């Protein structure tokens, strides 16, 4: 292995070409067309096994729930199910997909900040492991719904712990400025009020700090907040929690010694190169909480409790690539925003226009998310020629650099020399929050998705849109 992005037995270079689980990426692109997402079942399994190590290092049972919002194509859900991992869903639609995939209610955790009554009914009817409750209003609605259905609802109250993470502002979810959860004081009152309710099983508390958290410290803080809340709930209401839910947020290292990382501002570099080990982070948090519990003479509150985690990105982020073909190329004088006298600056931009835009990689536009781009056909060659690269949409923001000029993405992508129309390129690490947010903007076909299987085979798990799909809902 000689490329920093290579991963043994998964993403490799053979005869100069990119291979995913042994399959020739550009060959698949020619067979199935581009854009094309390829997910890897072996990598999904590997990532789940890595997260399971958390359970080996703490003193309580672990319930691992894959956050379906990161990518919920049925074939991916089946791969998660077959890896014996449970699921976190965020809407009645995701819940329906989960049930259809064969997840039973006790394997599903239901989140969401604007749930409708039909969604609550569906969750209660199916005996969901826990509905994460976003507000006191919602708790009342759940109680009323459970009473009407004559079936108790398992609930877990989502707290705002006011913990800041050094992640993108749109991915912060534990601050008062974020829209999620209720104040801890409200939750304490709710435990007292509903402790004897026959319609509600007050099973746990929940928080989620944010996504792509670069520092393990936030998990220590989160666990400590959780324990303080558990203790207070027990002392004030006598309720002993059955589980605590620490959410997800473990990062993926998007840079891995990328030659282009120096082109990014320091805070972006730190964010995209975050590399914390979930089992180190959670076991450190567990140790710290255990010490606190001993001091408080409350260790029994931790005994037998289940720890829930809801990782999305760290299971699916590096388990997929997206292949795209260069469809157009041109050279134009560089359009410097500021006039420069620096004669080392290129005066000509080599533009590459591909078939993968923000309709399938939305966060590249909204969050300026960085996905490494390489040539799938010449993966072994030096990547040192700069190109201005962009997608196909009729929208000036559909570019692979920071159109706003804040440098949050590299101005140029480095690829082999003489890249031109027809060459297949690959975005790496783009399995999470990519196609899951896909749209048919510009009436572009949503792409096909392949899954490389643990048995060495390959499966088409989502076909490319057809013309008819573009008007399927139009009347
Ligand atoms: C409540 C909740 N749990 C889990 C996740 C998954 O986060 P990640 O994909 O960063 O692990 C999210 C995503 O933001 C979330 O909002």
Instruction: Give the CATH number for residue 452.
Output: 2.40.37.10
Is residue 474 packed enough to be buried (19+ CB in 10 Å), middle (13-18) or exposed (0-12)? Answer: exposed
* CA gap 265, 410 in Å, rounded: 9
Using one digit for the tens of pLDDT, what is the confidence trace for 400-411? Answer: 999 999 999 999
Q: What angle do helix axes 136-149 and 184-194 make, rounded to 10 degrees?
A: 30
Copy the structure tokens of residue 327. Answer: 């469809």
| Residue 251: strand, helix, or coil | coil
Question: Residue 340: its pLDDT value, please?
Answer: 58
Copy the structure tokens of residue 420. Answer: 């031109």
Question: Residue 467: its pLDDT value, please?
Answer: 98
Centre of ligand 1 to C-alpha 364, Å, is 18
Residues 239 and 328 in one domain: no
* CA gap 109, 385 in Å, rounded: 47
Residues 303 and 359 in one domain: no
- Per DSSP bridges, beta strands 448-452 and 36-40 are parallel
Residue 189's contacts (CB-CB under 8 Å, 6 or more residues apart) are none
Output the domain CATH number for residue 257: 3.20.20.10
Q: Residue 342's pLDDT band (boundaries 50, 70, 90)? A: low
Centre of ligand 1 to C-alpha 202, Å, is 22
- How far are the Cα atoms of 27, 41, 315, 382, 401 from residue 53, in angstroms, in the given order? 36, 19, 13, 37, 37
User: What is the residue whose two structure tokens read 């706003």?
Assistant: 404
Residue nearest to atom 13 of ligand 1 (CA): 211
Residues 283 and 350 in one domain: no
Share of the chain above pLDDT 70, in %: 97
Residues 307 and 395 in one domain: no
Cβ of 310 closer than 6 Å to ligand 1, yes or no, is yes
Q: Across residues 197-210, what is the average pLDDT?
A: 95
Centre of ligand 1 to C-alpha 86, Å, is 14
Using one digit for the tens of pLDDT, what is the confidence trace for 254-296? Answer: 998 776 777 888 888 989 999 999 999 999 999 999 999 999 9
Question: Residue 337: its pLDDT value, please?
Answer: 57
Centre of ligand 1 to C-alpha 56, Å, is 22
Is residue 64 in some structural domain? no
Is residue 53 in some structural domain? no
Using one digit for the tens of pLDDT, what is the confidence trace for 377-402? Answer: 999 999 999 999 999 999 999 999 99
* CA gap 223, 246 in Å, rounded: 7
Copy the structure tokens of residue 227. Answer: 């324990």
Using one digit for the tens of pLDDT, what is the confidence trace for 69-120? Answer: 999 999 999 999 999 999 999 999 999 999 999 999 999 999 999 999 999 9
How does DSSP assign 362-422, residue by residue? HHHHHS-----EEESSSTTS---EEEEEE-SSSSTT-BSS-TTSS-SS-SSEEE-TT--TT
Best residue among 114, 180, 248, 434 to mutate for probing ligand 1, ranked by most atoms within 8 Å of CB: 248
The structural domain count of the chain equals 2
pLDDT tops 80 at residue 310: yes
Best residue among 72, 94, 159, 249 to mutate for probing ligand 1, ranked by most atoms within 8 Å of CB: 249
Centre of ligand 1 to C-alpha 282, Å, is 16
Is residue 80 in some structural domain? no
Residues 299 and 374 in one domain: no
Residues 352 and 286 in one domain: no
* CA gap 73, 399 in Å, rounded: 26
Backbone torsion region of residue 284, taken as left when φ is above 0, otherwise alpha when ψ lies between -120 and 50, otherwise beta: alpha
Spatial contact of 310 and 112, defined as CB atoms under 8 Å apart: no
pLDDT tops 80 at residue 341: no
Spatial contact of 24 and 15, defined as CB atoms under 8 Å apart: no
Q: Across residues 133-140, what is the average pLDDT?
A: 97
Residues 184 and 302 in one domain: yes
Residues 297 and 392 in one domain: no
- Maximum Cα–Cα distance for the chain, whole Å? 76
* CA gap 209, 249 in Å, rounded: 7
pLDDT tops 70 at residue 123: yes
Alpha-helical runs (H) found in 168-216? 184-194
* CA gap 400, 305 in Å, rounded: 46
Residues 263 and 386 in one domain: no
* CA gap 449, 156 in Å, rounded: 35
Centre of ligand 1 to C-alpha 142, Å, is 23
Strands (E) across 168-210 are located at: 200-206
Is residue 394 in some structural domain? yes
Residues 141 and 246 in one domain: yes
Best residue among 51, 67, 182, 251 to mutate for probing ligand 1, ranked by most atoms within 8 Å of CB: 67
Cβ of 70 closer than 6 Å to ligand 1, yes or no, is yes
Spatial contact of 204 and 156, defined as CB atoms under 8 Å apart: yes
Residue nearest to atom 3 of ligand 1 (CA): 247
Is residue 274 in some structural domain? yes
pLDDT tops 90 at residue 203: yes
pLDDT tops 80 at residue 336: no
Cβ of 208 closer than 6 Å to ligand 1, yes or no, is yes
Mean pLDDT, the chain, whole residue set: 94
Q: Across residues 194-216, what is the average pLDDT?
A: 94
Question: Residue 167: its pLDDT value, please?
Answer: 81
Centre of ligand 1 to C-alpha 132, Å, is 13
Q: Across residues 336-351, what is the average pLDDT?
A: 72
Is residue 428 in some structural domain? yes
Cβ of 211 closer than 6 Å to ligand 1, yes or no, is yes
pLDDT tops 80 at residue 344: no
| Residue 458: strand, helix, or coil | strand
Centre of ligand 1 to C-alpha 311, Å, is 6
Question: Residue 10: its pLDDT value, please?
Answer: 97
Which stretch of 156-165, 255-264, 299-308 has the lowest confidence by average pLDDT? 255-264
Residues 386 and 262 in one domain: no
Q: By C-alpha distance, which of 22, 87, 1, 7 is closest to 315?
A: 87
* CA gap 225, 203 in Å, rounded: 17
Residue nearest to atom 5 of ligand 1 (CA): 248
Is residue 316 in some structural domain? no
Cβ of 247 closer than 6 Å to ligand 1, yes or no, is yes
What is the number of the ligand 1 atom nearest to the C-alpha of 310? 4
Query: The pTM is what?
Result: 0.95
Q: Known catalytic residues?
A: 394
Residues 359 and 329 in one domain: yes
Residue nearest to atom 12 of ligand 1 (CA): 248
Question: Residue 253: its pLDDT value, please?
Answer: 95
Spatial contact of 379 and 413, defined as CB atoms under 8 Å apart: no
Question: Residue 161: its pLDDT value, please?
Answer: 80
* CA gap 98, 30 in Å, rounded: 32
Residue nearest to atom 14 of ligand 1 (CA): 211
Q: Residue 413's pLDDT band (boundaries 50, 70, 90)? A: very high
Is residue 102 in some structural domain? no
Domain span including residue 28: 11-40+321-336+344-470
What is the number of the ligand 1 atom nearest to the C-alpha of 213? 10
Best residue among 68, 129, 208, 308 to mutate for probing ligand 1, ranked by most atoms within 8 Å of CB: 208
Using one digit for the tens of pLDDT, what is the confidence trace for 3-36? Answer: 889 999 999 999 999 999 999 999 999 999 999 9
């Amino acid at each position: 292995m000689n490329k920093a992005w290579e991963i043994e037995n998964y993403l490799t270079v053979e005869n100069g070409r990119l291979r995913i689980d042994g399959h020739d990426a550009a060959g698949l692109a020619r067979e199935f067309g581009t854009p094309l997402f390829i997910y890897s079942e072996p990598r999904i399994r590997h990532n789940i096994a890595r997260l399971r190590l958390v359970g080996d290092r703490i003193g309580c049972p672990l319930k691992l729930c894959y956050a379906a919002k990161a990518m919920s194509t049925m074939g991916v859900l089946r791969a998660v199910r077959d890896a014996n991992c449970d699921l976190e869903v965020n809407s009645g639609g995701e819940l329906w997909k989960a049930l259809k995939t064969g997840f039973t209610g006790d394997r599903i955790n239901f989140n969401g900040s604007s749930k409708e009554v039909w969604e609550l009914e569906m969750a209660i009817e199916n005996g969901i492991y826990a509905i994460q409750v976003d507000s006191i209003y919602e708790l009342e609605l759940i109680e009323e719904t459970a009473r009407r259905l004559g079936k108790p609802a398992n609930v877990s109250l989502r707290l705002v712990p006011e913990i800041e993470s050094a992640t993108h502002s749109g991915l912060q979810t534990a601050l008062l400025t974020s829209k999620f959860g209720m104040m801890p004081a409200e939750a304490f009152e709710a435990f007292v009020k509903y402790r004897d309710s026959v319609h509600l099983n007050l099973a746990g508390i929940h928080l989620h700090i944010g996504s792509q958290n670069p520092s393990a410290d936030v998990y220590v803080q989160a666990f400590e907040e959780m324990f303080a809340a558990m203790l207070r709930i027990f002392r004030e209401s006598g309720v002993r929690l059955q589980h605590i839910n620490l959410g997800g947020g473990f990062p993926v290292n998007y840079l891995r010694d990328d030659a282009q990382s120096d082109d990014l501002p320091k805070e972006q570099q730190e964010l995209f190169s975050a590399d914390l080990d979930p089992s180190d982070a959670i076991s450190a948090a567990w140790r710290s909480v255990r010490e606190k519990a001993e001091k408080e003479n409350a260790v029994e509150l931790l005994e037998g409790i289940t720890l829930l985690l809801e990782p999305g990105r760290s299971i699916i982020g590096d388990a997929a690539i997206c292949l795209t073909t260069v469809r157009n190329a041109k050279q134009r004088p560089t359009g410097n925003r500021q006039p420069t006298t620096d004669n080392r600056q290129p005066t000509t931009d080599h533009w590459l226009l591909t078939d993968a835009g923000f309709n399938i990689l939305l966060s590249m536009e909204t969050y300026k998310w960085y996905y490494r781009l390489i040539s799938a056909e010449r993966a072994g060659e030096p990547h040192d020629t700069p190109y201005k690269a962009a997608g196909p949409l009729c929208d000036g923001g559909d570019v692979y650099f920071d159109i706003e000029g804040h440098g949050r993405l590299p101005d140029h992508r480095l690829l082999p020399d003489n890249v031109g129309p027809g060459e297949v390129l690959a975005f790496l690490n783009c399995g999470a929050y990519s196609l899951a947010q896909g749209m048919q903007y510009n009436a572009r076909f949503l792409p096909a998705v392949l899954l490389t299987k643990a048995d060495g085979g390959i499966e088409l798990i989502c076909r490319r849109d057809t013309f008819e799909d573009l008007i399927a809902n139009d009347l």
